[in-house]
Chain A
């Protein structure tokens, strides 16, 4: 990078806010998905919105691509740097700016950790609902970029449900406010488009969050089944009975073994474990918990246990939330996958996964947000065996294709990022992707903001999808376009 531009950056963020040494840059070469690594030209650590604006103005003028980064816990390579660009790290913008519990609003900078929001309001009985498993370390800015979910989004929704407003620096350095403290702002819902756009539309520098009152009672039921199919049938039974639990999680035997090895959650050793959390008024939870237990028994559960204390509930959840990392205890290497299927397709997709996994000879551990059909298959492999990483990658990809075939999605909460952009063309048709590009071109016509992510093929915003020209066959009435 030219010395003049570096000096300009240094003048904006100060010497301590600019990283250019190779060794230090390597900290930023990947996010939670370590299979992709790219060294950026520089990393900038702004401390204010004005600094972010100044940086982006320089980038815009010089056509330097940039990638925003929070805590770097993303699992799809969304914060992977671009080789000819810079990384803008928001970790120093980590202040909670305002807490208004009367109206249930909290305003934060993007570098604030997810769990710190709840920590700040917990003593008053409030919580921030989105709870990705990485919530102890992941940032709100990253949650906004990825539209992060978590176990409790079955009932409470995703990050997008709980973000009411954003201050955003657009790729040309200008500042806009999307949404706000109040609902239904007149105009297009650009807030809704921005949340989950994986850093491709600009950088959020302030986030208005909604916090919620903690329910009166929270109970977790553990049910042990012989198979994930039986457990899956219980999930359908619970839903069919007209209940909306706060969370329904499922783990298969391999995932249970891993979690036990790592955090000793005291899970029963079974083929399919179901974790059902209900919350709400005490008499309501009591009634419904009995119904849940009945459904589970009817579907073949041979052990049912309701966590009795907060400590026990916390331990149950710890096992589930540690499941990804825990797999490291039973396998030298693994790929975390994130697909979604209609819940009813679970038995059929699971048996296909078993078939594929035995064909390839690799084990797959399964952790599901079963209530909303979000699968997290963990493909286990040995990276010291030549070629096994490629096999694992292919198996993980084939599982995604199963999800698409079942009418589901290639990602429920980890994002497309770098990892899955080629699958976008399998999930969506070309006109769908072209239409999404119209949004990107409105926000970022120069394609500077986290370029090369989400979409399988970069497209110049100058290109307009051509005015429709009828094919000679259409004119002749032989064929139709639709």
Chain B
């Protein structure tokens, strides 16, 4: 794709102020920059109609727009080719309709995940997803980045939970797909298309989810041992009749553990705990605190500079991935740590100097690709990203993806350059 030419002269910002309200348009400061690319202004429209109008205005003015929710994952993706305006969903933050008897919720994109969960818990329900930084992350943000957590082992990821979406396109169109019933095959599933699209096709303004009951009881255990033995235990548990809601493998220099969580009735949990202990045999295990399920978030903290990459492999390949990470880390003298869910997706953290991190990312990515998996450099200093695509090499569907982008956002108004293959 061609390099962006930011059309930033002759911009009539008062027109935008009129759309979103003067007090909701402000000059950007350094904290608004994305990977060092600084926008000029931040707009916070108060309705989805205003957001669509603001986007249409920006598109008409030839500006480049970055949609933003809680701003917790703005560093994910490649640095933007250009960014003039941040379009914030912070004022679109309502939980519009919790139809608890139907177990669905309609929520605005700017609603924080934690706030939504609190509202749902009043009726004993939840969005069965535990994404990163729920106190700050918004629904639009987790959707755009396709974030998930430990619950996906049982409940799937966002694509399995979202049942409807409303989006604003660069030409100002507000479009819906899906609806508020769980079972629905009318029309194309745009909710899935926008999930994980990193805001490059349109701006999510509203979403509808199916919900699950909060568990009555919950109990977690951790087993420790060698990586290979724990990977084998993970596979044995998967092949058993146990129904854990969490199954997580953690590894770092010299230690490894397998965490398992059972939810349900007290009797059901007790029976399952007994069974898993039998299956584990001589592998030592003990009750674990609930905080063990925050490990996928904890891995984002630590010494810097650091690289957090997301990998996805087959469940049987966990130990192999960890071994690769360890080998690469040792070769580059980096500290390392891995947290993965039994579905095969996880994070690997490396700490050390930027040049070594960059080399490590490229090496690990190649090795994971050879195993048939993928690895994306999600969190890292801009210097590590320079000159490479953090998403990895494009697949044979890349030209199709480019055609989709061209249909939705032909002028590359939204987040230009941040997505796979320069989209």
Contact A411 B185 (CB under 8 A): yes
Known: A181-B372, A196-B189. A157 touches B156 (CB 8 A): yes
- Cβ-based interface call for B157 (8 A): yes
Contact A192 B159 (CB under 8 A): yes
- Give the Cβ gap from A297 to chain B, nearest Cβ, in Å: 20
Known: A280-B243, A344-B99. A415 touches B181 (CB 8 A): no
Contact A372 B181 (CB under 8 A): yes
- Cβ-based interface call for B310 (8 A): yes
- Closest chain A residue to B201, Cβ basis: A188
CB-CB contacts below 8 Å: B247-266 with A = 264-265
CB-CB contacts below 8 Å: B156-208 with A = 156-157, 159-160, 167, 169, 171-177, 179-190, 192-193, 195-197, 201
- Cβ-based interface call for B381 (8 A): no
- Give the residue among A187, A343, A482 with the most B Cβ atoms within 10 A: A187
Contact B181 A342 (CB under 8 A): yes
- Give the Cβ gap from A176 to chain B, nearest Cβ, in Å: 4
Contact A468 B172 (CB under 8 A): yes
- Cβ-based interface call for A317 (8 A): no
Contact of A146 among B102, B185, B188, B312 (CB under 8 A): B185
Known: A412-B183, A442-B403, A442-B406. A435 touches B173 (CB 8 A): yes
Q: Mark A216-258, 1 if CB is under 8 A from B, else 0.
A: 1000000000000000000010011011100000000000000
Residue numbers in B under 8 Å from A413 (CB-CB): 183, 185
- Cβ-based interface call for A416 (8 A): yes
Complexed CA–CA distance, A123 and B399 (Å) = 42
Contact B186 A409 (CB under 8 A): yes
Contact A147 B235 (CB under 8 A): no
Contact of A190 among B60, B391, B394, B401 (CB under 8 A): B401
Complexed CA–CA distance, A193 and B177 (Å) = 11
Contact A435 B171 (CB under 8 A): no
Contact A427 B401 (CB under 8 A): no
Residue numbers in B under 8 Å from A399 (CB-CB): none
Residue numbers in B under 8 Å from A321 (CB-CB): none
- Give the Cβ gap from A194 to chain B, nearest Cβ, in Å: 9
- Give the Cβ gap from B59 to chain A, nearest Cβ, in Å: 9
Residue numbers in B under 8 Å from A410 (CB-CB): 186
Contact of A411 among B124, B159, B171, B184 (CB under 8 A): B184
Complexed CA–CA distance, A440 and B193 (Å) = 13
Residue numbers in A under 8 Å from B300 (CB-CB): none
Complexed CA–CA distance, A481 and B100 (Å) = 33
Contact of B56 among A149, A214, A373, A468 (CB under 8 A): A468
Known: A188-B404, A434-B175, A442-B406. A412 touches B185 (CB 8 A): yes
- Closest chain B residue to A189, Cβ basis: B192
Complexed CA–CA distance, A443 and B124 (Å) = 42
- Cβ-based interface call for A341 (8 A): yes
Complexed CA–CA distance, A424 and B187 (Å) = 8
Residue numbers in B under 8 Å from A153 (CB-CB): 183
CB-CB contacts below 8 Å: B230-254 with A = 235, 238-243
- Give the residue among B183, B374, B403 with the most A Cβ atoms within 10 A: B183
Complexed CA–CA distance, A454 and B177 (Å) = 14
Complexed CA–CA distance, A374 and B179 (Å) = 13
Known: A177-B396, A183-B157. A188 touches B401 (CB 8 A): yes
CB-CB contacts below 8 Å: A431-471 with B = 431-436, 438-443, 454, 464-465, 467-468
Known: A344-B99, A373-B181, A432-B175. A184 touches B156 (CB 8 A): no
Contact A182 B374 (CB under 8 A): yes
Residue numbers in B under 8 Å from A191 (CB-CB): 192
Contact B188 A193 (CB under 8 A): yes
- Cβ-based interface call for B27 (8 A): no
- Cβ-based interface call for B316 (8 A): yes
Complexed CA–CA distance, A374 and B181 (Å) = 9
Complexed CA–CA distance, A196 and B183 (Å) = 12
- Give the Cβ gap from A292 to chain B, nearest Cβ, in Å: 13
Contact B183 A149 (CB under 8 A): yes
CB-CB contacts below 8 Å: B52-73 with A = 52-53, 56, 60
Known: A188-B193, A284-B271. A432 touches B146 (CB 8 A): no
Among the 9-residue stretches B210-218, B281-289, B327-335, the one with 4 or more Cβ atoms under 8 Å from chain A is B210-218
Contact of A439 among B188, B265, B373 (CB under 8 A): B188
- Cβ-based interface call for B133 (8 A): no
- Cβ-based interface call for A364 (8 A): no
- Cβ-based interface call for A185 (8 A): yes
Known: A186-B376, A286-B267. A196 touches B398 (CB 8 A): no
- Cβ-based interface call for A262 (8 A): no
Residue numbers in A under 8 Å from B315 (CB-CB): 102-104
Residue numbers in B under 8 Å from A104 (CB-CB): 238, 315
- Cβ-based interface call for A197 (8 A): yes
Complexed CA–CA distance, A286 and B312 (Å) = 37
CB-CB contacts below 8 Å: A163-184 with B = 170, 175-178, 180-184
Contact of B183 among A213, A215, A372, A464 (CB under 8 A): A372
Residue numbers in A under 8 Å from B179 (CB-CB): 407-409, 427
Complexed CA–CA distance, A291 and B56 (Å) = 54
Complexed CA–CA distance, A104 and B315 (Å) = 9
Contact of B146 among A184, A407, A433, A454 (CB under 8 A): A184
- Cβ-based interface call for A14 (8 A): no
Contact B268 A412 (CB under 8 A): no
- Closest chain B residue to A175, Cβ basis: B396
- Closest chain B residue to A188, Cβ basis: B401
Known: A187-B398, A373-B183, A482-B49. A435 touches B175 (CB 8 A): yes
Contact B264 A284 (CB under 8 A): yes
Residue numbers in B under 8 Å from A343 (CB-CB): 101-102
Complexed CA–CA distance, A280 and B272 (Å) = 10
Contact A467 B185 (CB under 8 A): no
- Cβ-based interface call for A139 (8 A): no
Residue numbers in B under 8 Å from A454 (CB-CB): 187
Contact B124 A412 (CB under 8 A): no
Contact A197 B420 (CB under 8 A): no
Contact of A184 among B213, B214, B374 (CB under 8 A): B374
- Cβ-based interface call for A429 (8 A): yes
Complexed CA–CA distance, A40 and B345 (Å) = 46
Contact A434 B214 (CB under 8 A): no
- Cβ-based interface call for B105 (8 A): no
Contact A182 B314 (CB under 8 A): yes
Q: Mark B402-423, 1 if CB is under 8 A from A, else 0.
A: 0110111010000000011100
- Give the Cβ gap from B395 to chain A, nearest Cβ, in Å: 6
Contact A183 B344 (CB under 8 A): yes
Residue numbers in B under 8 Å from A196 (CB-CB): 185, 188-189
Give residues in A with beta carbon < 8 Å to B. Answer: 100-105, 125, 146-147, 149, 153, 157-158, 160-161, 170, 175-178, 180-193, 195-197, 213-216, 236, 239-240, 242-244, 280-284, 286-288, 340-344, 369, 372-374, 407-416, 420, 424, 427-429, 431-436, 438-443, 454, 464-465, 467-468, 482
Please give me the 5 A-B residue pairs with the lowest Cβ-Cβ distance, nearest first: A192-B192, A284-B268, A242-B213, A435-B175, A482-B49
**Could you jot down 7 A-B contacts, CB within 8 Å?**
A160-B189, A175-B396, A185-B312, A187-B420, A213-B240, A440-B188, A465-B173
* Contacts A101-B239, A342-B102, A409-B181 supplied; 5 other A-B pairs, CB < 8 Å: A153-B183, A189-B196, A409-B185, A409-B186, A465-B173
